[in-house]
Amino acid sequence: MEDRKKTYVEDIDRSIYDIANEERHRFTTVKGLSEEVIKEISRQKDEPKWMLDLRLKSLQIYNSKPIPKWGPDLSDLDIDNIVHYAKPDTEMNHSWDEVPEDIKDTFERLGIPQAERESLAGVGAQYDSEVVYHNLKEDLIKQGVVYLDMESGIKQYEELVKKHFMTLITPQTHKFAALHGAVWSGGSFVYVPKGVDVDIPLQSYFRLNAKGAGQFEHTLIIVDEGASLHFIEGCSAPKYSVQNLHAGAVELFVKKGSRLRYSTIENWSRNMYNLNTKKALVEENGIIEWVSGSFGSKISMLYPMSILKGRKAKSEFTGITFASTGQILDTGAKVLMAAPETSCTINSKSISKSGGTAIYRGLLEVSKNAVGAKASVNCESLMLDNESKSDTLPIIALDNDDIDIGHEAKIGRISDESIFYLMSRGISEEEAKSMIVRGFVEPITKELPLEYAVELNNLIDIELEGTIG
């Protein structure tokens, strides 16, 4: 048989993410889920009674709800074999010098301290179940900006947190939201006062080092009237041969005339079930911007939701997904347009290779009240070989006629005609395919924060090598 040259698109380079530290914990719960486990988590945190009551109620709801059957198959997920709380052997620190050396080295490899020094107004770093480092620039503190780990937020701003905590994402939302309500730990609490413009981003990074464990951080952000914020979230974990679980929750409150950009890159390992829930409530003339990248995990189910409650509220979603061998990444966006003259834009792109499955699952719901609403939905999928799979499953539900709605979906492979055209201009086949994939993701990368745009290019491009087959 005649030798022929094949083109191979390299997998995501996970080398810095897969370095695992020796596990050193001050305390861990036993595997599985029980009322005693929940009470022990609450005791460890010295929580107010209302929070323990919420946890126990969430556990009851969790036990009453079935595992969702409408998405990827979750039947292999063994909750009874997951450690739901693992406290690292350190307190929460406000200086990197105080963070234990092995944990600090992990975040140094991930570039978090350097990013803080060069381009961030504040940083939170979570390791397993607790935040180990948190800091905010003094000038923002003087303006009344609050950026704390979630546990400190409850203690220092109890009434404000209690008013908002798990009111957007209630335990009734779905089974894994109920699980989150029962075992949540860590995360960030942010409050931006009226009229304050936080012009340099805040960033929280969540690192799960413990094998066979879950991470359940809760992020609560309130951007008050006329204020603005860019919040960045990063996530990663080393690869193990046992299941890990991520079921975090993000609740965003965008008040009248305020603006929030929420950027996230999730690069979990391929033993991770990523069952994350995110919602934003947007009031009159408020703007929520989602920028989302999903790369790691065995299975992901993630659909950030915007509830446009006030007149002229606006939502923009920009997302990229890259699925490779053994991965089913089921992602998308949901928008509820519930007020007049609201608007939304959804722009989602996915790449699949080597048998990976990338699914766009979206919901656009326009209520009777949303007179004059405008929406545009665009989802594109690119398959790099014949083994990969891609689906787009958009749902559009319209309850009034005085609206302007546009929808476009494309699924395809790299076109032979495009390759031929570029090769006819003296470009190699490898570089031609590389150029096409770069061009496909470019509208997304330009929306990412600089360091994540660089990371994205490193993750999915795109080194094409010739191999003999």
Integer Cα distance of 411 and 403 in angstroms: 27
Encode pLDDT of 318-359 as tens digits.
Answer: 998 888 888 999 999 999 999 999 999 999 999 888 889 999
The percent of residues above 90 in pLDDT, for the chain, comes to 46
Integer Cα distance of 285 and 225 in angstroms: 10
Q: Where does the pLDDT of residue 1 fall: very low under 50, low under 70, confident under 90, or very high at 90 and above?
A: very low
pLDDT at 46 over 90: yes
Encode pLDDT of 414-434 as tens digits.
Answer: 777 878 888 888 888 777 777
Give 443: exposed, middle or buried? Use CB within 10 Å, 0-12, 13-18, 19+: middle
Encode pLDDT of 289-314 as tens digits.
Answer: 999 888 778 899 999 999 999 999 99
pLDDT at 3: 35
Q: Where does the pLDDT of residue 92 fall: very low under 50, low under 70, confident under 90, or very high at 90 and above?
A: low
pLDDT at 83: 84
50-61 mean pLDDT? 97
50-64 mean pLDDT? 97
46-71 mean pLDDT? 95
pTM of the model: 0.87
Cα–Cα distance list, 129 to 91, 201, 254, 274, 423 (Å)? 12, 24, 27, 16, 51
Integer Cα distance of 148 and 397 in angstroms: 39
Residue with tokens 């998308």: 332
pLDDT at 194: 98
Encode pLDDT of 231-252 as tens digits.
Answer: 988 766 655 546 788 899 999 9
396-407 mean pLDDT? 90
144-168 mean pLDDT? 96
Mean pLDDT, the chain, rounded, equals: 83
Give the residue among 20, 33, 96 at the shortest CA–CA distance from 60.
Answer: 33
80-90 mean pLDDT? 80
Encode pLDDT of 94-142 as tens digits.
Answer: 777 777 776 777 667 666 667 666 667 777 777 777 777 778 888 889 9
140-165 mean pLDDT? 95
Q: Which residues, in sequence order, are bridge partners of residue 433?
A: none
pLDDT at 279 over 90: yes
Give the residue among 405, 404, 335, 339 at the shortest CA–CA distance from 368.
Answer: 339
Q: Where does the pLDDT of residue 468 fall: very low under 50, low under 70, confident under 90, or very high at 90 and above?
A: very low
Residue 209 carries which side chain, given as an amino acid letter?
A: N
- Cβ distance 265 to 46 under 8 Å? no
The percent of residues above 70 in pLDDT, for the chain, comes to 83
pLDDT at 270: 78
Higher pLDDT, 174 or 82: 174
- Cβ distance 55 to 183 under 8 Å? yes
Q: Which residues, in sequence order, are bridge partners of residue 6?
A: 467
In terms of C-beta distances under 8 Å and separation of at least 24 residues, what long-range contacts does 451-454 make, across chains too?
451/111, 451/115, 451/119, 452/232, 452/234, 452/263, 452/265, 452/293
Crossing angle between the packed helical segments 101-109 and 112-119, to the nearest 10 degrees: 60
pLDDT at 452: 61
Encode pLDDT of 265-276 as tens digits.
Answer: 777 777 889 999
Tokens coding 347: 């722009």
Taking the CA atoms of 433, 18, 321 and 374 in sequence, report the sign of the dihedral they define.
negative
pLDDT at 16: 44
pLDDT at 385: 81
Tokens coding 201: 């981003």
Integer Cα distance of 2 and 225 in angstroms: 69
Taking the CA atoms of 134, 137, 140 and 144 in sequence, report the sign of the dihedral they define.
positive
Q: Where does the pLDDT of residue 4 fall: very low under 50, low under 70, confident under 90, or very high at 90 and above?
A: very low
pLDDT at 7 over 60: no
Task: Name the E strands within 100-180.
Answer: 122-127, 130-136, 146-149
Integer Cα distance of 116 and 95 in angstroms: 12
3-state secondary structure of 92: coil
Tokens coding 406: 């546009």
pLDDT at 55 over 80: yes
Which helix H or strand E contains 308, and what residues bound it? strand 305-308
Q: Which residues, in sequence order, are bridge partners of residue 345?
A: 316, 376
